[in-house]
Structure 1
Amino acid sequence: MDPFNKLPAELRVKILVKIRCRRTTSRLVQASPIMREQYLTSRAHITRTLLALDLDAEMVRDAMAVILCSPQYSSGGYATFLDRRRCRYCEAQQLSNLLLEPLTDRNRTLIDELDKLHGRLLFFIEDYLTKATAVFPPREYRCLSVFSPRQTQLTFKGQPISARFDAENLTGPERKRLLRAFLRYELGSLTWQMGDISECRENKRHECLHTGSEHRLRRKPSPGDEDAMFCIHTYPDPLDREAIRCVHTYLESLYGAMFAQCADSELPSSSRRLDAGYYLDAFYAHPDDYLFAMGAEGRLPGTSHLASFGFGLVTPLLRSATSGGRQGRARLKRWFRDANFSYVMGDVLRWYPHLGDSFYAAAAAAAEGEAYKRGPAMYRMLCPRISNTFKTHKKLYRQRAWVFFDDDRLIHLLAESRIFRRRKTSSRRNLITRTLNGTRGGCGDRRLMRLLLQINHRSGTADNAGHLLKTR
């Protein structure tokens, strides 16, 4: 007997809304016929309610811009394609919040598209956080997730490795931060041609008929113009900029994982002996490690270039890498080897050059200032203790999704956050601060490595960490 039969319809709907996890909802409606019937009956209401919980009005407009700027809505010749895409963006920015309007046939179609986009981004967010919260990130960062509600594990060459993160474990603010960053990155990748996008957004006008090159001749580029390629504001908030960098780092890692699985590679062991002199090699997953194993003879761009295409390109490639077995990976390797990216290499990165930490370094430093104090607790804790001279430290924290979390409850290995939380370990805190600020001669990384391993060993979070404390 189905226990949900005894519940009124209103309570069943509240249960389906309260779950907020697509995988759990899928399992529930498969196990309970009455809940399946209730879900199908109230699907429109449930979908609108769940989307309204995750997306504010600005995020809905950005999401609609992603939908309207997609290739299915923008077709024709190259120039027509760009002009239409620019006008589609302006149209999306003038739309009211569809989640608050009465349901019409057009709104139903757009809400269905919005729900699909929301689900696709949540899939990538869960994959990102699975790797960001792993005990040994280089291991999980070589794995891929399968596009299937029944598959709940990361896989490496078809073999399940570890359980995927559940977005239900996120707080409301964390979900919104992640969805906002992923939406803006995808929108930026779709609108990288739009040199005047900031003007269109601010003035709410359809003056989108000049090309990006004409715009560059009309007005000198500035840090604000480059940042406007993200369709945020003329001068985006430093926290938003760092969040988008985190998404870029994650997309780089997806291509790195595909390269690793197409190549003759094996997963690194989390219990291997780590040389204390190679802290970054031990905990940072380098996305370009297997780039040359693809056999593209220099024609294949690096993962940073590929990431700039957003989720539209990586989605079908990920399906090929995970669903076709060995033959699928072989086809993917041939595609990477035969693809010609030379015709887009000059302009495709037009919208994201400021992702690099050295781009407009002085302006970026002046803009960031004390902005980190408005960020989440994890970011506030770690940001002032990182030196800008050690770029890999920032990349390491971006792989850990440091700008999104309210606290360190989900991080298994990020020992610094535990240290900074305890006043009794001020001497260790000072040691890490001095190390991150640039101890010369390479000994800084070795000292930090030993300290991290000691803390992990005492907290029981690292595998077989005892023998790792030995000196070289």
Structure 2
Amino acid sequence: MDPFNKLPIEMRLEILLSIRTKEPMAALIRASPALFRLYRSVKAKILRNLVAADLDDELVQHAVAVVQFPNRLQFRKAHLAAWNERQQPNPLQGHYPEIFEKATSRSPPREYLCVPNIRASAADGHSVFRGQRITASFRTDILTDTERKRFLQAFLLFELNCKVVKAGAAPRFRPGHGVSYEVPKVMISLRDDDALRCIHTYVCSLHGAIFAQCGDAWLPEPPNESSLEPGLLFPDSLYLDPNTYMLDLGIPQAHGGELAAELAKLGLELVFELLGYDTSDPEQKESLLVRLENLWYSYPRLKPRYRHLIVEVSPNITDEGLIYDHLKRQLTSTMEVQKKVFEQRAWVFFDDARLYPSRIITRHFPSAAFLVNEGDKLVWFEGWEHNSARIRALCRSQKWHDDYKKGMGSDA
């Protein structure tokens, strides 16, 4: 006899939602047919609760409250009120599932043009392109504990490193022209160092997506939808280069054209602020452009450049795996395009290939030979032509695609 069968459905639901870890949940639904039936009907909501427990939002709230506790007395009341109401800013909000959704997509360049909707609840997380809902959040409950830990460590180390860089620290520096000292470093594996680079590339790509949505960027069709329109051309067809969309937006290519990388070193706080603007609203979009312009003109003050200050790779720490070792052998470090493609596809985080399209990593991670050949190919654009910067820019333009459709319609 199932004792839970006598309880009202509302109470059964409360019981399921109160469980914070997977093992007790599994044991309970095995023992109770009534709870198992209810679990199946509300599985998505329960899984999101379990993921939230994995992320331990409450501990994040405590940690943020401690780290950001104000020195000035007049700010402490509001700070403690925000902590009590669990309203401290969570630096991982939206990014945890989004990076994996983009990395494992059948069309990463399309997904990377989108940004996480930070206004959405955790239960309704999704990405947007100029306010339009595009993709539901990645199911992070299917990650292994190792994968989850690897990601969280990389994200938190990246954010801490950004704060150190932003403070103007160097490997050896003199705060306030006082006694010099060396920045302490934590020893990590080469894989963890590569994970930090993946997070930096991901944050750069968020700035690139913001540039794109402020400009005239075209969002490609999903890969399963047939289209007669020309798509993005190489290398845009493989990865999002934030500097390309910066130029499309009209930001001058000064200082090496690395604005996204310079902004990324300011960490998640700036990203969170910029994602708060709704680019589908003309007034908010204009305000965002003004904010970006101000950031651009402050560029000389953004020095020093981003680098890993608080970590050091130790040859004595190993963190190997079949897929990581295989891809590491394939990666040609001197080829920047290949490195960025691998980093945008989160090559260091997963234990195996199960989450990649068709579970075949060779299609998702191009070889150096493939990339060289792809760059030399002729492209079809009003006839066969060499792949040029002009043609690539047109294929990225929403206006050009609109005009192309009109032309195709009039020809028909």
Alpha carbons of 1:298 and 1:289: their partners in 2 closer, same or farther (altered >3 Å)?
A: closer
The 3-state SS of whatever aligns with 1:291 is helix
Select 1:15's aligned residue among 16, 19, 23.
Answer: 19
1:132 maps to what in 2? Answer: 103
Select 1:184's aligned residue among 157, 169, 192.
Answer: 157
The count of corresponding residues between Structure 1 and Structure 2 is 335
153-162 vs 238-247, which moves further: 153-162
User: Which amino acid in structure 2 is aligned with residue 239 of structure 1?
Assistant: R
1:73 maps to what in 2? Answer: 70
Distance in 2 between residues matched to 1:191 and 1:410, nearest whole Å: 34
Does the 8 Å contact 1:381/1:417 carry over to 2? no
Distance in 1 between residues matched to 2:176 and 2:353, nearest whole Å: 43
Does the 8 Å contact 1:408/1:417 carry over to 2? no
Instruction: Show CA shifts across 1:24-55 (max 9, x none).
Output: xxxxxxx99xx9xxx9xxxxxx99x976x557
Q: Whose helix fraction is larger, Structure 1's or Structure 2's?
A: 1
Q: After TM superposition, list the pairs within 5 Å mapping 1:101-140 onto structure 2.
A: 120-140=91-111
Distance in 2 between residues matched to 1:121 and 1:332, nearest whole Å: 22
Residues 1:313 and 2:270 aligned together = yes
1:250 maps to what in 2? Answer: 202
Select 1:400's aligned residue among 324, 341, 345.
Answer: 345
Instruction: Show CA shifts across 1:7-40 (max 9, x none).
Output: 8x8x5465344499xxxxxxxxxx99xx9xxx9x
Select 1:331's aligned residue among 282, 287, 293.
Answer: 287
Distance in 1 between residues matched to 2:12 and 2:359, nearest whole Å: 46
Residues 1:381 and 2:326 aligned together = yes
Instruction: Show CA shifts across 1:296-353 (max 9, x none).
Output: 456796100000000011101101145x623222211121123332452223x36548
Distance in 2 between residues matched to 1:123 and 1:145, nearest whole Å: 6
Instruction: Show CA shifts across 1:234-272 (max 9, x none).
Output: x43322211111110000000000000000121124467
Instruction: Show CA shifts across 1:394-435 (max 9, x none).
Output: 211110111111111111167435899xxxxxxxxxxx8xx5
Instruction: Show CA shifts across 1:117-160 (max 9, x none).
Output: 6x541521211111111111111100112121164332111122
The 3-state SS of whatever aligns with 2:334 is coil
Q: What is the deviation of 1:178? A: 0.9
The 3-state SS of whatever aligns with 2:128 is strand
Residue ranges of structure 2 left out of the alignment (5+ in a row) = 1-6, 25-37, 74-78, 378-412
Report the RMSD for the aligned CA atoms in angstroms: 4.8
Residues 1:262 and 2:207 aligned together = no
Q: What is the deviation of 1:281? A: 3.6
Q: After TM superposition, list the pairs within 5 Å mapping 1:285-296 onto structure 2.
A: 285-296=240-251
Residues 1:211 and 2:175 aligned together = yes
User: Which amino acid in structure 2 is aligned with residue 328 of structure 1?
Assistant: Q
Distance in 2 between residues matched to 1:50 and 1:419, nearest whole Å: 29
The 3-state SS of whatever aligns with 1:165 is coil
Alpha carbons of 1:212 and 1:408: their partners in 2 closer, same or farther (altered >3 Å)?
A: farther
Instruction: Show CA shifts across 1:185-222 (max 9, x none).
Output: 11111122375899xxxxxxxxx9x507656xx57xxx
User: Which amino acid in structure 1 is aligned with residue 373 of structure 2?
Assistant: C
Does the 8 Å contact 2:154/2:196 carry over to 1? yes
Distance in 2 between residues matched to 1:111 and 1:402, nearest whole Å: 38
Does the 8 Å contact 1:378/1:417 carry over to 2? no
Distance in 2 between residues matched to 1:50 and 1:142, nearest whole Å: 26
The 3-state SS of whatever aligns with 1:406 is coil
188-197 vs 305-314, which moves further: 188-197
Distance in 1 between residues matched to 2:229 and 2:324, nearest whole Å: 27
Residue ranges of structure 1 left out of the alignment (5+ in a row) = 21-30, 40-45, 77-105, 199-207, 220-224, 356-363, 421-431, 448-472
Alpha carbons of 1:3 and 1:407: their partners in 2 closer, same or farther (altered >3 Å)?
A: same
Q: Whose strand fraction is larger, Structure 1's or Structure 2's?
A: 2
Instruction: Show CA shifts across 1:347-399 (max 9, x none).
Output: 3x3654899xxxxxxxx9xx68797x623443122112222221221211110
Residues 1:153 and 2:110 aligned together = no
Q: After TM superposition, list the pairs within 5 Å mapping 1:25-40 onto structure 2.
A: none
1:171 maps to what in 2? Answer: 144
Distance in 2 between residues matched to 1:381 and 1:375, nearest whole Å: 10
The 3-state SS of whatever aligns with 2:303 is coil
Does the 8 Å contact 2:216/2:249 carry over to 1? no
TM-score (norm 2): 0.65
Q: What is the deviation of 1:280? A: 3.8
The structure whose RCO (Cα within 8 Å, separation 6+) is larger is: 2
Distance in 1 between residues matched to 2:328 and 2:316, nearest whole Å: 10
Percent identical: 25
The 3-state SS of whatever aligns with 2:193 is helix
Q: What is the deviation of 1:283? A: 1.1
Distance in 2 between residues matched to 1:19 and 1:261, nearest whole Å: 42
User: Which amino acid in structure 1 is aligned with residue 272 of structure 2?
Assistant: T
Alpha carbons of 1:182 and 1:368: their partners in 2 closer, same or farther (altered >3 Å)?
A: same
TM-score (norm 1): 0.57
